[in-house]
Structure 1
Amino acid sequence: MSEDSEYLDQLVDERQLREYLTAELGASDTFEVTYHEGGNSNEILFVTWDNMDLVLRRPPPGETASTAHQILREYRVLSALQPTPVPVPRTVLSCEDTSIIGAEFYLMERVEGEVIGDSEPERFATPEYRRQIGTELIETLSHIHTVDYEAVGLGDFGRPSGFTQRQVDRWTKQMDWLYEEKGHDRHVSDLESLRDWLLDNVPESHPETLVHGDFRLDNMLFGTGTPPELVAVLDWELSTLGDPLTDLGFLLAHWRDPKDDADPAIPEWTSPHTEHPDYLTREQLVERYEELTGLEFTNERFYRALAVFKEAVAGEMFYARYLDGETSDPLYPRMEHRVPSMAERGLRIISGNEPL
C-alpha cells in the first residue's frame, strides 16, 4: 500500500461517504476518491460521483471540532459569494456529522485550471498575457473588497473594527509564545525591531470589507486556455471581515518587481517570474486597485511590512518545530537563514529601501 493510500484511509471512510452521498445526491454507479497534495492546512480529496467531479475539503486528522481549521466557515463564505463577481467554485453540500468521515467536511464542484506557482505556463509567456495575469488578479481582489457583505449574509462573519491592531497583537503573541511557552532560545534582533515598529505604527483607522486573508498568485486558479482567465480563488480558510489593505499588502509582499535588487527572502514562497518587465509592477497593481475600489493605499510600508512580519514569525515557528524534532519537512530547517532574511527585508521596506 502506498503512503498516499494509507493517508487516504485516515481521511475518509469510503463506505460511509458513499452511503452519505447516496442519501444526499442520489445513487451513482461511479464513485472514486483520490488524495490531492497541496491543500495547505486543510486537506483536499477529489471525488467522482456519477457525472460530477467534486472536491472534498476537510481538516487534517486529529483536529478537534472546535479547531477544524473552520472548514464550514470556508464553506459559508464560498456559498455566500456564489451570486457575486468573485470567481469561486460552486458549493454542493456541507456536513457537520463527524461520524461520516471523522471530521466536518464540505463538497464543491471541481474547477479545471492551473495554479501559477514556481514557473510560468508557456501559453502565458507573451507581453499581453503577462499583463493580463496581473489585471485579472487585481480585479478579482477588488471584487472581494467591494462585495456588500451584509447583503450576501456575511454581516456577522467577523469583527472588522480594530482588525489591523488585532493582527499585529496576534502575531506578537505568537512570538511571545515561542520564547515563553515553547522555550525557543534563538532571538532574531531584526524581527524584534520589525515587531516594535509595527506596534508603534498601526493605522488609527481602516476600511472595513470582506478579506481573503491569504491573497497571492499561487492561491488562484487560472483556466486552461488563453487569454489568462482567473476562474477560482482558492483557500478561504482565513477569510473574515477586516481591513482590505492587509490583503493588498500581502499580495504585494509576494509580487517581485524588475527593480528588486535583493534575492527573495523565501524563494519557496515567491513567484519569481513576475520580475519580468512584461508583468505589471507593484505600483501599477496599486494604481488599478485604487481605481476599481475607490480606496487609497495609505500606509503602504506598514501593510507590506506586516505581511513580511507574519510570514517571518510563521517561519520561526517552523524552525522551532524542526529544532524540537517535530517535523521532517525539508523546508523547516531552511528557516534558520530564511527568517533573518525576511526580517531584514521588513526593515528595508519600512526604511524605504525596498520601494513600492
Structure 2
Amino acid sequence: MTISRDAHIDAAAVADWMERVGLGGGSLEQVEPLAGGTQNIMVSFMQDGRRYILRRGPRHLRPGSNRIMGREIALLGGLAQTDVPHARLIASCEDESVLGGAVFYLMEPIDGYNALVSLPQHHAAVPEMRHRMGLSMVEALATLGGVDYDAVGLSEYARPDRFLERQVPRWLGELDSYSQLAGYPGADIGDVTRVAEWLDRHRPRTWTPGIMHGDFHISNVMFRHDEPEIAAIVDWEMTTIGDPLLDLGWMLSLWAGPDDVDDLLGSAYASGGGLPTEQEIVQCYADRSSRDVSAIDWYVVLACFKLGIVLEGTYARSFAGQASVETGLRLHEITLRLFERAIQRISD
C-alpha cells in the first residue's frame, strides 16, 4: 500500500518509520480516516495484528500545526503517569520529512463511543444512565485539574503567570484579526464590549494553575459501551497550563439548561434529557477538587466569550474560502447563542 488518499497519509512511509523505530514490520492494513474535530486528521490502521490510531495536523498544514502536535505529544507523555482517562501514547515522530512535512503520533485505540451523534440503546433509553454520564465527565475533569503538572514533567509546557489577566485582551485581539479576511463583514455577535468589561471588573483575584484541556465538551470525550463512564478525554490541541476552572465553565457554557431541549452542540446525548443540572455539576466538581468554585459564573462567561470568538474565526474564514460555508454558518449560530448566554449571566 502506498498513499491512502482518503486518509491523507503516506501509508508506506509510516510503515517504514515504524519498522525503523522498532514497532513492527509489514504494510499497513485497514487504513481508515476517523471523525474527530474539524481540522486535524486521525487515521486508524492495523499492522502485524495490532490496531493503531495516527494523529497529525490538517491536510493543508498551518504555520502552527506541527507545534500543536508537538504539544499534544508532550502532554500525553505526561498524562501517562496519571489516572486521567485518555488514549495512551505509543510513539511520536517529529521528523517532518517522514510524512510530507507533518509531525504525527501513534496512540492506543479507545474502546468507546462519542455521544455527540448517537448513544447505545441502553444509554439512550434510561435517563439515569445519561445523568451518570454527565457526572462521569465532571469527575474526569476534576482528575485532570488535580494533576501536579510539575511532577509529570510539564513545568515548561506553558507559562501560567497572569493567565486570567491575559484572556480578554488576547481574544479581543483575535476577533479584531478576522477583519483582515477577505469578505468578512465584521463581528455582529452581540455586545462583546459589555462582556469584556464585565470580565475585567469581576476577574478572580486568586487561582491555582493546573492542566487545562482547553476545549472540554461532549464531543471531546468518549464513553464506555458497557457502562455510563468516561473511556477517554480526546482532542488535546487547545491544552495548556492555566486555570482548570475554565474547563468547567467551558463544559457549562454549552450544557443544556433546564428549559432547553438540547445543548448548544445539538448532541444526541442531550436530546433525551436526564442530564445533571448545573448545580449538580458544580457540586460534583467541588466534591473532588480543592478549587474554590464560588466564582463559577465568571468562568462560564469567560468560556462563552472565548469559545464564541474561536468559533467566529471559522465563520470569518468561510468568507475567504478557507472553511466551508455550511460549517461557518453552523458555528456562527453557536457563537450568537454563547454571547446571549454570557449577557444573561451578567444581567442576572
- The Cα RMSD (Å) is 2.5
CA shift, 1:337, in A, is: 4.9
Cα 1:282/1:69, change in 2 over 3 Å: farther
| Structure 1 spans left out of the alignment, 5+ residues | none
Q: Which residue of 1 aligns with 2:203?
A: 202
Q: Which residue of 2 aligns with 1:310?
A: 306
1:18-167 equivalent positions in 2, closer than 5 A: 18-29=15-26, 31-32=28-29, 33-63=31-61, 66-68=64-66, 70-102=68-100, 103-124=102-123, 125-167=125-167
1:110-259 equivalent positions in 2, closer than 5 A: 110-124=109-123, 125-179=125-179, 184-188=184-188, 189-225=190-226, 227-257=227-257, 259=258
The residue type paired with residue 163 of structure 2 is: F
Cα 1:179/1:46, change in 2 over 3 Å: same
Name which of 282, 285, 291 aligns with 1:289: 285
Residue-by-residue CA offset, 1:151-194 (whole Å, 9 max, x unaligned) = 11111111122112222221111122123676844343423322
3-state SS, counterpart of residue 297 of structure 2: helix
Name which of 13, 18, 27 aligns with 1:16: 13
3-state SS, counterpart of residue 256 of structure 1: coil
My pick for the range that moved more, 121-130 or 242-251, is 121-130
- Count residues in correspondence: 342
CA shift, 1:7, in A, is: 4.2
Q: Which residue of 1 aligns with 2:346?
A: 350
Q: Any conservation in 1 of the 2:215–2:247 contact (CA below 8 Å)? A: yes
For 2:52 and 2:180, how far apart are their aligned partners in 1?
Answer: 44
CA shift, 1:19, in A, is: 1.1
For 1:172 and 1:107, how far apart are their aligned partners in 2?
Answer: 36
3-state SS, counterpart of residue 5 of structure 2: helix
Cα 1:184/1:278, change in 2 over 3 Å: closer
Q: Any conservation in 2 of the 1:95–1:106 contact (CA below 8 Å)? A: yes
Cα 1:41/1:69, change in 2 over 3 Å: farther
State percent identity of aligned pairs.
31
Residue-by-residue CA offset, 1:253-306 (whole Å, 9 max, x unaligned) = 12113x235x76x84x24364476632111111101111102121322221111
3-state SS, counterpart of residue 35 of structure 1: strand
Residue-by-residue CA offset, 1:127-157 (whole Å, 9 max, x unaligned) = 4322221221111111101111111111111
TM-score (norm 2): 0.89
My pick for the range that moved more, 199-208 or 145-154, is 199-208
The residue type paired with residue 55 of structure 2 is: R
CA shift, 1:113, in A, is: 0.9
Cα 1:208/1:168, change in 2 over 3 Å: same
Q: Any conservation in 2 of the 1:256–1:272 contact (CA below 8 Å)? A: no
For 1:300 and 1:270, how far apart are their aligned partners in 2?
Answer: 24
1:329-348 equivalent positions in 2, closer than 5 A: 329-334=325-330, 337-348=333-344
| Structure 2 spans left out of the alignment, 5+ residues | none
3-state SS, counterpart of residue 89 of structure 1: coil
Q: Any conservation in 1 of the 2:181–2:316 contact (CA below 8 Å)? A: no
For 2:203 and 2:322, how far apart are their aligned partners in 1?
Answer: 34
CA shift, 1:243, in A, is: 0.4
For 1:277 and 1:286, how far apart are their aligned partners in 2?
Answer: 18
Cα 1:333/1:229, change in 2 over 3 Å: closer
CA shift, 1:311, in A, is: 2.5
My pick for the range that moved more, 133-142 or 272-281, is 272-281
3-state SS, counterpart of residue 318 of structure 1: helix
For 1:218 and 1:255, how far apart are their aligned partners in 2?
Answer: 12
Q: Any conservation in 2 of the 1:98–1:104 contact (CA below 8 Å)? A: yes
My pick for the range that moved more, 191-200 or 154-163, is 191-200
Cα 1:167/1:270, change in 2 over 3 Å: farther
